[in-house]
Amino acid sequence: MNNHIDLLFTYFNEFADTCIKNNHLDTFNRKSISIDFSSKSRQGNISSNFYLVAIKKTLDKQFNLKDELLFGIHNLDFIEKCEISENGFININIKKQFLISQVEYLLNERNQFGKSNIGDGKNVNVEFVSANPTGPVTVAHMRGAVLGDVISSLLTNTGHKVTREYYVNNAGSQIDILGRSLFRRYLELHGEIAELNSDEYPGEYLIDIAKLIEKKNWIVFIFFNHFI
């Protein structure tokens, strides 16, 4: 699929190559070229800063960069209208039929859209979320889960061999500290003064968990005996 953004970037690069080869323009960083399709101030479907970047690199003062650039853009078969505003941005309108053809292509491709073999069987390990159970799960953990899964799916659909890795941290010193902290909160429910050490977890969520244990009438002394 040749979308209008990629086609324009290709045109801008080819135009710059030709101008530089003919000594009309000096070399410049192509990464500074942008095509904006979301700005509220744009006057067309999309806008670009290419003219602003290129005009600063003019070597031949007789070369009419503006006219040559507009002539070339208008000759692209998917362009409806193009103009360079007073502030130097290129404002472009795309032909509606071209946009409709892009939508039709997406609908026909369905789940095959975007798939490729660019990864060529390369092994990729994606580790994401790994929420630490010593504290409540937050919206940030959920965001990490979605982002990690999307990245993994994108890699899979581009030919990579992906392993999704999620650490379940249910052992070690942090869990021991969590157990001691929870047991102290449980003791508080029975009238004991249980001061937390500096390395223990003070979160009030442990009080709720201790109340749940009390409500369920679980035998906690045996379970937590090694924490004290």
Beta strand 35-36 with 161-165 is unpaired
Residue with tokens 């892009």: 102
**Side-chain half-sphere CA neighbours of 152 within 13 A:** 16
Q: Which CATH architecture has domain 4-96?
A: 2-Layer Sandwich (3.30)
Q: Where in the chain is the domain with CATH 3.30.1360?
A: 4-96
Instruction: Kindly compute the dihedral angle of the four CA atoms of residues 68, 70, 75, 76, in this order, to the nearest 10 degrees.
Output: 120
Buried b (16+ CB within 10 A) or exposed e, 32-65: ebebeeeeeebebbbbbbbbbbbeebeeeeeeeb
Question: What are the φ and ψ backbone dihedral angles of 119, each rounded to 5 degrees?
Answer: -80, -25
pTM above 0.75, yes or no: no
CB of 157 closer than 8 Å to CB of 114: yes
Distance from C-alpha of 2 to C-alpha of 227, rounded to nearest angstrom? 63
Tens-digit pLDDT profile for the chain (228 aa)? 568 888 999 999 999 999 999 999 999 999 999 998 766 666 778 999 999 999 999 999 899 999 999 999 999 999 999 999 988 999 999 999 998 998 998 899 888 888 888 899 899 999 988 777 777 878 888 888 899 999 999 999 999 999 998 877 677 788 888 888 888 888 888 877 777 788 888 888 888 888 888 777 655 544 554 455
